[in-house]
Structure 1
């Protein structure tokens, strides 16, 4: 497989690689996403169900709170206490008018509050048989409540608690609802019960709420024994909830299977003994999320195909000039140097084609020039051999002249010839790029001696070199251009002193100073010189151009040489003032940068 891949062209390799890099990660990503999002989807579905359950629970709890509020209102409203107590103490002296007035007052207060809370059937029942109701009692006697089994439990209620009775047959003859959700509490004073409040909530309020759920979803209220108190289907009220044994042990949600289908079961405690329970098929609950995932998959697949087509087109466009360039290279390799790719464009391939064509042009030109140069070289070889003078012959002749002059007693001129011979030997000998500081100082002593002989002025060269610096290797002809510069521009080619000072500084670098006792420079001229030395190498300054140095390089090129050899570890400083001469300080390592 790998061998087959290697035999493919660059274009086919790119196409295959792009397809693999697009399709394979997408397939892996989709499978990994399905695997890792499975639990996330279940969690999201459960969260959605809990959110829906929370809203329903709040509404149901609000209805139950209204029932409690009504009972507490009757128990604690100050305006009701007097008429209620008067009814509970009816005797032979109490007139029918008094009883009617008390009931009218109580009924008016109850009706006012009941109108704001909803359609609830409220009954105030006194042990002496007196009662007040918010509903018609033509076909029902509220005194029958005293004979109910749950009245024993009501009498056991302590403090401000409420007894939740559950589902009762609707005793309001004007209502079409068959059942009521009932609760009761005793009214006590000083430990004595003087009455009861029974509140019944018609189930249509809650059934309408439950009807908002889908047909295959279940929403019920059950008691502590699992009996259904409220259901959309009235026929199931009072029956046992089929999945009571699968309820979560605590409030929350769980996944259960019923008849092979998975359901999400939710449970919320809405009263001390009642629970709100919902069951929804997981498949239908997750349908929206699954639909979104399918849509997302289709969109990703569409863009995958779109990107693949675009990339294949771009690859074909990019590789076409490369293939053309390869064909041109093959033809040139066969000897057809006149071939050109003629590829143009602003991208890298276009520039590569342009540069390649120009390179072939230069190769052709170079071959032509080399051929011509070889012809000229052969013609010049004979003339060069005839004109060549052996440098050793020149040194031997100069030494012979020096010996003859010394034999005649002219030691001064003999010394001058010796200095010229030494300086000429060092100038011609290009074998060694570096010499010791001691040798460099010796060359400059010969150079100053020749200057004094040539110009007749007495230039004194003072050397103060530390002994540990004399054997340090430095670039050849490093100091001579600086000595010449000091003589020409500092001393103005007149008598004076030039000093060479060397030492090792604290960081281990060699410090070499060149000082002159010349005219110095103004601050403006010093700034101009600094800017010139910091600039990109260009033509020397006017002063240097007017008097070329013996070595053929100026002070600017000296600094450039040191920068190239020692890099960032080379530093310098120039100090000067009018009438006090100039000082140039060089700082560089004891070894060049390339050898560190």
Structure 2
């Protein structure tokens, strides 16, 4: 059987396989989900109902435990307060007030204790606080006309206080409320007060009206039957006072269960009271009411799933057929590219993954063709540059000999300045047309710049001042020939306008790169012209330009220009080269270049840049 299925599937198309797999993968989980939900829906719904009931009980516990925590806080305060301890212990030991003002001090202490007990009552809540001493004295924050505190000593649960140790408290539970207007019952906790030797010297009793608890039930758990049970399982708080004191006939050994009550199923949930050990909150909710909303959600979801399943299958099959058409086209295109045809394009577009794949495939082909064109153009530029270098390697020795003869004659006549100018011209020509090396040490490039400025000052009336600041470690760095001369030429001709001014050349090593800077204090450039030049340099550094056709320094000098320098440096150093130009009208121009620092051992040579 399995072999027959494999043979059947083997000769089907990729599109058919994809559609069949998608239908099966959607149908099986949908059917399984529907079947499982019908089987397990009751358990899931019950769990959700229990979780909701426990969350509600947790909220109620926060408020109820806050009431009981306040009762415990009052008892703790009375037990540890130094003033109350001193007065109560003195009274318990039968201490006498001596002196003419004894009665006044006795009355003042009693009044201070009562005021302290009054201040312990929380605003908005009724707390009845009583302190009892074995000698019959008592202190309370309520009037004795309402209730006689000594009656508490005759309560049957007072015997249980003698069995407590340390700071343990005894929670009495619900008792009839003697205070008018505060409900039928009250909840009480009591604790013995002890000397340092653990002997009892008094008792503190704190009570609250029971109605404060069932008011919390009505506020936070409306629509449910809520009750508070003590450690013995008796009801100590309920919205119906007649039920207080009863023992419910429910098993509370589980936190949640479905029980029968009044001929219907009821969800019983219990939750321990965090403030009193052994006490529990119990919630009774009709099961149908508890699960009605959740059951409706489940039924609605299942109905929607089944109603949309058939339509989804139709859309899925149609969509898969449409979505796989571009894949077939891309497969055919890949075959043509493999055969060497780079001019084909898929034309597949769209916001989905297949559309992005088609666009990326076409973009990749465009980029490959662009890279081929760039490589071809770059090779052509390199060949052209090599040809130019070969043409510049012609060595007309007779020109140098003639210039040297002229220099000697001028020198014999005593005109040393003219002789120095001729020597500078000779050195400049020798570096321009005789040297075949692609790179020279930076100090030779700086010497050539000095010769160039010396010759330019001979041609113009006002002289330009050249200041060279070169760090010793940068002087022996290898640089391409004529990397600085065109920039200095631009500064003389365009920056200073053949007028007097200062041209500053700086060289140093920064983070492993050779930093060269040429600046002048000339006219500067307008923002529009500066922006155009920056865009052109950016295009050159990005490899989008051919050999620079516009020469900024073509009116005299070498004619290479700033763009040509950038072009040559990019061809040589690639991404390792960067150039930046800054200028402002009337503030001069500054050009900074950075390139890899290469060269031989650094010699301990002091720059003669300050000449």
> Larger RCO: Structure 1 or Structure 2 (Cα < 8 Å, ≥ 6 residues apart)?
2
Q: Could you tell me the TM-score, scaled by structure 1's length? A: 0.46
Larger Rg: 1
The normalised TM-score by structure 2 is: 0.45
